[in-house]
Structure 1
Amino acid sequence: MTIAPDNAQDSASSRYRAMRSFVQSTDDSLPGKFEVTKEGIVHDMMAPVGPHELTAVHLRRRLEKTMPEEIVAHTGEPDVENEPEGIMRRPDLMVIALQDMEVPGSFDPRTLFAAVEIVSRSNPDNDWVAKMRDYPLMGIPVYAVFDPRTGTGAVLTDIHPTPDGPRYATRKDFVYGEDVTIGEWTIATDGLPRYAE
């Protein structure tokens, strides 16, 4: 019996590696943030604005006050990558153990306790649609979304199989001012900044 190589798989893998190489080559040379999704490269042209960055600071501090010292709410590099799925993302905050950060290259998404995103004013569907699809595919168990446009958000958990691939089964919506539980940690959302109208 002869088994022919899966050319579609090889082609998808080559396509992903080419996109990843492009994204890595643009670091610090082009404005905005590049990520690789199932559909291709996502480019958020806008640099994060004050309320976006300030929200990240507040969330990081609030989370880290509730977590043991060996777990952090990390902002910044490196990316989180699931090469077999062809996805490379950079969450605004990654809840991860310090020991799982001691790796060369990208973080393994299965080591994250949670990914937290602050919705971009310029491309909200990236956070509300594409990442809601990509993060369960990557195996990230908790995805929390904070939306400074509306003062609302959601925490998504319980990955389960569907005909379209893994998806989050549970969604808990919240409004700013309510306490929110992300994984094992509960934080206040009062006083988080909003985008100006």
Structure 2
Amino acid sequence: MTIAPDDAQQGASHQYRAMRDFVQSMDDTLPGKFEITKEGIVHDMVAPVKQHELTVLRLRKRLEQVMPEEIVAHTGEPDVEDAPEGIMRRPDVMVIAEADMEGEGTFDPRTLLAAVEIVSNSNPDNDWVSKVRDYPLVGVPIYAVFDPRTGTGAVLTDIHSTPDGPRYATRKDFVYGEDVTIGDWTISTENLPRYADKDRPKSDPKGNG
């Protein structure tokens, strides 16, 4: 059977709406975070919770100390959504103008100045692979990754076109203890918590993913 482009688009839209309804119904039911990617629904347990949440807190406070008052480092809801692309994410920290938070519904990813993620033990590929693909696809200009497993991270910028779609052209790696620049703002990575050896998966004793 041949599916016309309009029919295919309507089918994809219906599938996305079904996934979106499921994710919203699960948000307060199960622990962790549900997101929608180009590959389907991802469930990230976001564990260990203490180190993850402390990293989020310290990064938020450090960013807001150096940013102008009208720019915030927002944590929590709502999601960042691009329905035509079939992507709905919830970054750990969203750098965004306070004015762009007004109104109803989800955030337009193109209003974000940067997305910051803290890698979890439960699903590191979600941060290091899937989001590296999804964020440039929906127009997030800067993506910063902090990995408490290894005490390292990266800042990805400069979206450009490739045969596989928009991708980040520039990646700057860092290690905990160095200053890191995200957009126009430079912050310290001193005293960011690391996951303890006992928290790392047994198949990943060195925390290398």
Q: Which TM class, normalised by the smaller chain length?
A: over 0.9
Q: Gaps (5+ residues) in structure 2?
A: 198-209
**Match of residue 89 from structure 1:** 89
What's the CA shift for 1:27?
Answer: 1.8
**Match of residue 126 from structure 1:** 126
SS of residue matched to 2:25:
helix
**Match of residue 171 from structure 1:** 171
Q: Gaps (5+ residues) in structure 1?
A: none
Question: Equivalents in 2 of 1:21, 1:64: separation in Å?
Answer: 33
Question: Equivalents in 2 of 1:28, 1:48: separation in Å?
Answer: 19
Question: Equivalents in 2 of 1:37, 1:135: separation in Å?
Answer: 10
Report the CA distance shift for 1:170/1:5 in structure 2 as closer, same or farther (over 3 A). Answer: closer
Question: Equivalents in 1 of 2:158, 2:5: separation in Å?
Answer: 35
**Match of residue 206 from structure 2:** none
Deviation string 1:28-76 (CA, Å, 9 cap, x unpaired) is 1122210000010001135551111000011000000000011100000
**Match of residue 153 from structure 1:** 153
Code of the residue aligned with 1:196 in structure 2: it is: A
Question: Equivalents in 2 of 1:116, 1:45: separation in Å?
Answer: 17
SS of residue matched to 1:174:
strand
**Match of residue 79 from structure 1:** 79
Code of the residue aligned with 2:63 in structure 1: it is: L
Q: Answer yes or no: is 1:195 the counterpart of 2:195.
A: yes
Query: How well do the aligned residues superpose, as a CA RMSD in angstroms?
Result: 1.1
Q: Would the aligned equivalents of 1:31 and 1:47 in 2 still touch at CA under 8 Å?
A: no
Question: Equivalents in 2 of 1:60, 1:141: separation in Å?
Answer: 18
**Match of residue 45 from structure 2:** 45
Greater mean deviation of Cα atoms: 41-50 or 93-102 = 41-50
What's the CA shift for 1:105?
Answer: 1.0
Report the CA distance shift for 1:79/1:48 in structure 2 as closer, same or farther (over 3 A). Answer: farther
Question: Equivalents in 2 of 1:27, 1:124: separation in Å?
Answer: 20
Deviation string 1:116-165 (CA, Å, 9 cap, x unpaired) is 00001110000000000000011000000000000000000000011111
Report the CA distance shift for 1:128/1:97 in structure 2 as closer, same or farther (over 3 A). Answer: same
Q: Flag as ranges the 4+ runs of structure 1 deviating above 4 A.
A: none
Report the CA distance shift for 1:152/1:47 in structure 2 as closer, same or farther (over 3 A). Answer: closer
Q: Answer yes or no: is 1:10 the counterpart of 2:41.
A: no
Report the CA distance shift for 1:5/1:130 in structure 2 as closer, same or farther (over 3 A). Answer: closer
What's the CA shift for 1:10?
Answer: 1.0
Q: Would the aligned equivalents of 1:55 and 1:192 in 2 still touch at CA under 8 Å?
A: yes
Code of the residue aligned with 1:166 in structure 2: it is: P
TM-score between both structures, scaled by the size of structure 2: 0.90
**Match of residue 67 from structure 1:** 67
Greater mean deviation of Cα atoms: 24-33 or 162-171 = 24-33
State the identity %: 80
Q: Would the aligned equivalents of 2:92 and 2:116 in 1 still touch at CA under 8 Å?
A: yes
Count of aligned pairs: 194
SS of residue matched to 2:121:
coil
Code of the residue aligned with 1:16 in structure 2: it is: Y
Question: Equivalents in 2 of 1:98, 1:67: separation in Å?
Answer: 12
Question: Equivalents in 1 of 2:69, 2:94: separation in Å?
Answer: 15
SS of residue matched to 1:105:
coil
Q: Would the aligned equivalents of 2:47 and 2:121 in 1 still touch at CA under 8 Å?
A: no
Greater mean deviation of Cα atoms: 40-49 or 58-67 = 40-49
Question: Equivalents in 2 of 1:18, 1:45: separation in Å?
Answer: 22
